[in-house]
Structure 1
């Protein structure tokens, strides 16, 4: 009899945010974790959450809720949180100087996926970024199963077809959602 698999979940918050905006509701991460555990009949499950956040003073709203959310994921749900402040870059355009923000977490995610390679049998990636295709191939060549969760508007064809399976999070039948997104929250991930 085979042992149930060990699962590692890697969540790219910015990719999930696009799906949440489309749905008009937030993910309930406790329900989402339970859904993954049940779907793969997991022996154990470890969840990593990757996000970049704005610096204090760069928004006209408080960031306290975002930091409380990170604490909830970490303390209440046991997620491993990887976060960094958005990098602010001044770019010159025809209209003058414009500040752009960047907060890509792909490298941090890839490092964790490789660093924890011996702790899981199945990797579940919540991302649609085609840059992960080489990593997915690497994992599969080492006997790992890799499943991708994203939404139709945020998934690259290469990643969707290069993994062991793809699920559109907007089509999951189980209730993995909570409250509706209100307009002022649309800048949160």
Structure 2
């Protein structure tokens, strides 16, 4: 199989990643989009969904791509516009309405636990006072939630007889059980992720791990840092 020239031209993808995909006969791809959007914080840059899907469809043996992403009914126009962009790529979209979970305001929303230990008692006291005031004010913090663990697992198992290998873009430990079922049936499994965002349970069942940052060849928009040491512009 010849690799698409645009992939070879834009970015030097690790050869073992390309070889693994090349050696599979029929590949299905499953993208947990909410999960992988969080990877951008680790990578320091944003990716384009269209570029990612286009890169994958450039491989002749990638026969189907399923994308899982919720519908935000509070911002329905924007949500539906984004869904149309996904469908236009040729991928199959799985969606359902997002739920919004109300969370209690606490220190962890503002600081990592390790960071808090660096503060002296005076600073910790001030932070505690601020948290108390926010809690008393009645301010509500709502977090969108839309898990697709069940839908992804069912699709994988339903697709078993159509494929020889899967590429899973997710780091969720809940995916271990369906992946183990696929392995029992002789299917090959590649996990795509970034450092610190892939559960150890998935490492235990994968045949191949692919670092997303060393695989993606599309446009990258670097995130501006709030740290003045990096200046006002984008940084690597």
What's the TM-score, normalizing by structure 2?
0.62
Deviation at 1:144?
0.6
* 1:72 alignment partner, one of 85, 104, 109: 85
| CA contact 1:5–1:42 (8 Å) conserved in 2 | no
Where does structure 2 lack aligned partners over 5 or more consecutive residues? Answer: 1-22, 106-131, 226-236
Distance 2:208 2:41 in 1: 24
Q: How does 1:1-189 map to 2 (within 5 A)?
A: 5-36=25-56, 42-56=60-74, 64-74=77-87, 76-90=88-102, 95=135, 99-172=142-215, 175-180=217-222
Structure ranking higher on relative contact order (CA contacts 8 Å, 6+ apart): 1
- Evaluate the alpha carbon distance shift between residue 65 and residue 180 of structure 1 in structure 2; reply closer, same or farther with a 3 A threshold: farther
| CA contact 1:148–1:163 (8 Å) conserved in 2 | yes
What's the TM-score, normalizing by structure 1?
0.76
Distance 2:167 2:204 in 1: 14
- Evaluate the alpha carbon distance shift between residue 181 and residue 92 of structure 1 in structure 2; reply closer, same or farther with a 3 A threshold: closer
- Evaluate the alpha carbon distance shift between residue 162 and residue 78 of structure 1 in structure 2; reply closer, same or farther with a 3 A threshold: same
Deviation at 1:178?
4.0
Give SS of 1:114's match. Answer: helix
Residue in structure 2 matched with residue 187 of structure 1 by the alignment: none
Deviation at 1:79?
0.7
| CA contact 2:173–2:199 (8 Å) conserved in 1 | yes
Give RMSD over aligned pairs.
2.9
Distance 2:223 2:70 in 1: 19
Q: Deviations over 1:83-126 (max 9, x none)?
A: 11211345678946654432111111111111111121111110
- Evaluate the alpha carbon distance shift between residue 28 and residue 142 of structure 1 in structure 2; reply closer, same or farther with a 3 A threshold: same
Relative to its length, the structure with more helix (as a share) is 2
Deviation at 1:82?
0.7
Where does structure 1 lack aligned partners over 5 or more consecutive residues? Answer: 57-61, 184-189
Residue in structure 1 matched with residue 111 of structure 2 by the alignment: none
